Amino acid sequence: MAKTYSQYVCQQCGRRSAAQMGRCPGCGEWNSLVEEIIEKKTSAASHATHSAGLRSTPRRLSEISNEVEERIPVPIEEFARVLGGGIVPGSVVLIGGDPGIGKSTLLLQTTLAMAERGPVLYISGEESERQIKMRAMRVLSPAAAPSPAGAKDGAGESDGVPENLYLVTETNLDVILEHIQEIKPDLIVVDSVQTTYLPQLESSAGSVSQVRETASRLRELAKTSGLTVFLIGHVTKDGTIAGPRVLEHIVDAVLYLEGDRFQTYRLLRTVKNRYGATSEVGVFEMRERGLVEIRNPSEAFLAERMINAPGSAIAVTMEGTRPLLVEIQGLTSPTSFGNPRRTPNGIDFNRLLLTTAVLTRRVGIRLAEQDIFVNVIGGLKINEPAADLAVATAIASSVKDAPVRADTVLIGEVGLSGELRMVGQMPARLREAEKLGFKNAIVPRRLRKGEPWPKGIQVIEVRSLREALKAALIET
């Protein structure tokens, strides 16, 4: 039997120490000691594993079956797409996000739906079983929700509650593993990795060593038994999950649930996925009865738009393989004290500075005494240069108090010389705009002829930001 004990190991130089220290005596690095479990194998034990045939054997590439990974369908389509089409049995998926963004809700809804197929275990270290049950009832309550009275129509309490969903409030990983042995679920949710701990380690729950050890134990189990593991992780202050990206290499996929806490849209984004594309995005809305899928996000994001209002421009951004129309608002207002302010919400700060500089220097719009605010509607974050043109147009439209032509989308990257640059996947963007009833698109001039533009939308090709503004703004 292997004997285990724990030691503090420097993550930089590998030096071991029996006690926690602020600074590694070996390499002098600060805060680099992390508690790890050391397994002392007796020579007999290591011999045994060898003779038991547990050794790996290299195989010819041609001999390895090339069947695609079998996937378990997920009834929540937006979630399934982000996962790459469904759950791969034996995979470990980490779902990160700020506290209160809806991670527990998303996974509870998923487990409620998945429990139809087989036993599912939801392990919570944060909420009691009663609390989870209450949330489940809220999510499962009959679709009569929009009724203003909101009264229960005497529907049976147990309606729609799957028999195969088990809940437990537990934070001790040893006990959790026992529960898994007993229930033999196909899928488990650990909510959250930061509350789960291994008693053998003296570090507190949520520390790098605990989080890493929890994840690797569960991964081992997943790989050997085909159990699928969803780990919930809170994002820490510096924006990473549980410290310095300790989990990202252990798990198969990392998804982030993001959105504005004060807005209802939630985006599920892939950061890493061994079994699918990393650029997919699922769009949800947090409603009274949990997260609702938004199948047509462009339409939702444009719903509250005011037509002909100065300072509003429509961009078409690609979120994964899906084009998304979003409204970008710009507002300029005279600076009252000294330095003009630049306040982007949803776009990169430096990108805004660049766009502002190009507007000033290449187009001749005076912005030095103007505060500038830019807002992407729907709580979306755009980090694609293709939205530059819409951002610049929204700002120019506000300064000049001239609205953007009706039914027009703006797509293109703005270069430092004030030129417009072509962006990828233009036909897909244009088709989406056309589908939503837009009549004109202002895009960069094409230098190489590609596939013809879609028929139903008038494409106006321009060379520079100056020309684009001339085409886009209705100036009186």
Residues in touch with Mg ion (CB under 5 A): 104
Write down the least CB distance from residue 141 to ligand TYD, Å. 9
In DSSP terms, which residues pair with 116 in a beta bridge? none
Q: How far is the CB of 314 from ligand TYD (least distance, A)?
A: 28
289 binds ligand TYD (CB under 6 A): yes
| Pairwise CA distance, residues 406 & 268, whole Å | 31
Query: Does 135 contact ligand TYD by CB under 6 A?
Result: yes
- Residue 185 binding: pick among ligand TYD, Mg ion, none (C-beta 5-8 Å cut-off by kind): none
84 binds, among ligand TYD, Mg ion, none (CB under 5 to 8 A by kind): none
Cβ-proximal residues to 214 (8 Å cutoff; 6+ apart), any chain: 173, 190, 193, 196, 197, 198
Q: Which of 415, 417, 391 is nearest to 404 (CA)?
A: 391
Q: Does 104 bind ligand TYD (CB under 6 A)?
A: yes
Please say which residue, 129 or 159, places its beta carbon nearer to Mg ion: 129
Q: Is 141 in the site for ligand TYD (CB under 6 A)?
A: no
Residue among 99, 150, 226, 427 that touches ligand TYD (CB under 6 A): 99
Helix-strand-coil split of the chain, %, nearest 5:
25, 30, 45
Q: Are 413 and 344 in contact (CB under 8 A)?
A: no
H/E element, 55: none
Is residue 103 a contact point for ligand TYD (CB under 6 A)? yes
Q: Is 138 in the site for ligand TYD (CB under 6 A)?
A: yes
What is the residue type of 182?
Answer: E
Binds 445, which of Mg ion, ligand TYD, none (CB < 5 to 8 A, cut-off by type)?
A: none
Q: What is the DSSP letter of 159?
A: T
Could you tell me which residues are beta bridge partners of residue 421?
413
Give the integer Cα–Cα distance in Å for 87 and 101: 22
Q: In this structure, what token pair is assigned to residue 51?
A: 């003779």
Of the candidate residues 14, 25, 75, 100, the single one contacting ligand TYD (CB under 6 A): 100
Q: Which does 111 bind (CB under 5 to 8 A by kind): Mg ion, ligand TYD, none?
A: none
Whether a cis peptide bond, with omega within 30° of 0, leads into 192 is yes
Q: Which stretch binds ligand TYD (CB under 6 A): 63-71, 152-160, 281-289, 336-344?
A: 281-289
129/202 with CB nearer ligand TYD: 129
CA atoms within 13 A on the CB side of 132: 25
By beta-carbon proximity to ligand TYD, the closer residue of 138 and 431 is: 138
Q: Output the smallest distance, CB 285 to Mg ion, in A.
A: 18
Nearer to ligand TYD, 292 or 471 (CB): 292
Hey, what are 256's tokens?
């982030």
Which residue lies nearest ligand TYD, judged by its C-beta?
104
- Let me know the angle formed at the C-alpha of 83 by 325 and 296, rounded to the nearest 5 degrees: 25
CA dihedral sign of residues 292, 296, 301, 302: negative
According to the binding rule CB under 6 A, does residue 269 interact with ligand TYD?
no
Chain-centroid distance, C-alpha 39: 36
Of the listed pieces 134-142, 181-189, 389-397, 426-434, which binds ligand TYD according to CB under 6 A? 134-142
Q: Is 97 in the site for ligand TYD (CB under 6 A)?
A: yes
Which CB, 211 or 347, lies closer to ligand TYD? 211
> Residue 26: which region, alpha, beta or left (left: phi > 0; alpha: psi -120 to 50)?
alpha
- Contact flag: residue 125 with ligand TYD (CB under 6 A): no
**Token pair listed for 35:** 């508690």
Q: What is the largest CA-CA distance in the chain?
A: 89
Least separation, in Å, of the C-beta of 195 and Mg ion? 10
Mark the segment that binds ligand TYD (CB under 6 A) among 1-9, 53-61, 131-139, 164-172. 131-139
Q: Are 458 and 442 in contact (CB under 8 A)?
A: no
Which residue from 290, 310, 403, 412 is in contact with ligand TYD, where contact means CB under 6 A? 290
Query: Could you give the C-alpha distances from 248 to 252, 283, 285, in angstroms and in order?
Result: 8, 23, 27
Binding of ligand TYD at residue 101 (CB under 6 A)? yes
Q: Which does 97 bind (CB under 5 to 8 A by kind): Mg ion, ligand TYD, none?
A: ligand TYD
Nearer to Mg ion, 108 or 325 (CB): 108
What is the contact surface with ligand TYD in residues (CB under 6 A)?
97, 99-105, 135, 138-139, 286, 288-290
